[in-house]
Amino acid sequence: MTMADPHLIPLKPALYADFPCPSCGAKAIEARGTVFPGVHVLGDYRCGACGLEFLRDLPVGFAVQHPVAIGRADGRLFNPSGAEPWLHGPLLQAYRAPSDAPVTVERIVRRTARRVVVLNTLDFLYGHVLLKLFNAQAYLDRYPDRGLVIILPRMYAWLAPPEAAEVWLVDLRLGQAHGWYTRFNAWVQERLAAYDEVDLARGYAHPEQAGLDIARFAGIPAFDPARFDALPPHITFVARQDRLWFASDLGELCHRALNKLGLKGLGRWYVRRQDRLMRRTMRAIRRVEPRATFTVVGLARPGGYGTLARDLRTERMDEATERAWCQAYAQSHVVVGVHGSNMLLPTAFAAACVEVLPDDRIGNIVQDVFVRYPDRMQLFAYRFVDERARPGQVAHHVLGILRHYSAFHRNMCVHTV
C-alpha cells in the first residue's frame, strides 16, 4: 500500500508497505499488521524475496526522517538513515525486554466515526509530546470527514482539543513511554478493529506553528499583538532549576563540579544566583519602563521576589497551576527563560521571547520556541542571547522589543508589496 496523501499513513484496510526490504532491497513486501508498543508505531512485515520477517517504524514523529527496522528472528537493527542512538537504542532495549504490565487507558468518545486518523503523541520528553499534539489542528482542519483519535499521556489531558472525536488517555509517565507494552498494544488493536478505515497521522516532530491557535488546545487565547502598545508591559520569567542561567563560565563549571561530587545542596546556591540575575534584569527593565510588571513561574519553592514580581512557582504541578501559568504567558509582551521544552507553552501565548541559549544547545536553536509569526516578525520577536549574558544585556533586548515591536511590524510586515 502506498501513501495517496503524504500526511496520512494507511493502516486499514491495507497497511503501508511502499519501501524496500531492509536486508535485500526488494520491494516485494508483505504487510501483516501493526504494533503500538508505546512511543513507536511499527508495521509487521515479511520480505517475499529473502523471507526476512521484520518490524519497521512507520514514518511518523522522528521516524519520518529516521525509520529503523528490527529483524524478528535475531533482533538485528537496520538503520539505513543513520538514526542516532537516542532514537533507536531505547526501542531495541524495549523490544528485547517487553513488558506485560497493565497499562490503564481511558477512552473518551466525543463523536462516533467509522473513518479515523490516529495521532500518537506518546513520548519520553515533555516538549516532544507537545509538538506532536500541535499536529492535531492541521488534521482537524484538513480532514473534517474523518474522526481524529489522539493517543495522549494523561498529564496532557487538559490540552486535548475538544474537536477531537476520541482521546485515549494513557497512564504512563514520560520516563516510561519508551517501553514495549504488550497489553497496551492489545488494547489498541482491539479498538482499531472496530473502524472501517484507519490512517496514521504523521505526528511531525516540528509542525508548522504560524496560524496555530493555542486556544483550541488550552482554552486560553494567546496575547493579541494588535494590543501590544495598548497594554502595560508585562514580562514573565521562566525559572527552571535543572538548566540554569549562570552568566559566567566559572559559575557553570563550579555547578557541574558540585553535582558530580554529589553536593547538590551546595549547587542550589546557583539556583538562588539565577533568581538574583532575574531580579536584576527586572529592575533594569523597570528603570527604563516604570510601568513594567513581572511574573515568575517554574518548578521551585516560591519566595525571594517580594513585591517585584508575582511569584507563581510551585514544587507540585497540577492542572490549575498549568492554567495559571498559561494565563500569565497570555498576558505577557515578552517571556524570558533558559532554552528547553519549558519555553514551548510560554512562547505559544506571549508576543515575544528572549531566550538564554547554552553553548551545548546551539544545534537545537528554535526547537523549543513556538513560532507564532509567518514573516520577518520571527527575526524580531524571538531573541537568543549567550549563556554568559548579563542582566543588562537581557534587559536591553526586552526593552528593544517593547519599544520597537509595533513600528517593526508596520515597516516590515504591513507596508510591503
pLDDT value of position 250? 67
Q: pLDDT of 2-43, one tens digit each?
A: 778 999 999 999 999 999 999 999 999 999 999 999 999 999
What local confidence, expressed as pLDDT, does residue 259 receive?
63
Structure pTM?
Answer: 0.93
With a pLDDT cut of 90, the percent of the chain lying above it is: 84
Q: Which domains does the chain possess? A: 14-96 (no CATH), 105-201 (no CATH), 215-414 (3.40.50)
For residues 69 and 79, what is the distance between their CA atoms, to the nearest angstrom? 7
Q: What are the tens digits of pLDDT across the range 144-165?
A: 999 999 999 999 999 999 999 9
Across all residues in the chain, what is the average pLDDT? Answer: 93
CB atoms within 10 A of CB 163: 14
Q: What is the pLDDT of residue 258?
A: 61
How far apart are the C-alpha atoms of 161 and 134, rounded to whole Å?
10
pLDDT > 70 fraction of the chain, expressed in percent and rounded = 95
pLDDT-based confidence at residue 263 (cuts at 50, 70, 90): low
Q: What is the pLDDT of residues 95-131, one digit of tens each?
A: 999 999 999 999 999 999 999 999 999 999 999 999 9
Distance, in Å, from the CA atom of 36 to the CA atom of 42, rounded to the nearest integer, reads: 7
Q: How many helices (H) and strands (E) does the chain have?
A: 11, 17
E-only strand ranges, 177-302: 197-201, 234-238, 293-297
Per-residue pLDDT at 146 = 97
Q: Distance between terminal CA atoms of the chain?
A: 45
Decide if pLDDT at 346 tops 70.
yes
- Mean pLDDT computed over 239-257: 75
Q: How far is CA 274 from CA 26, 222, 264, in A?
A: 57, 28, 15
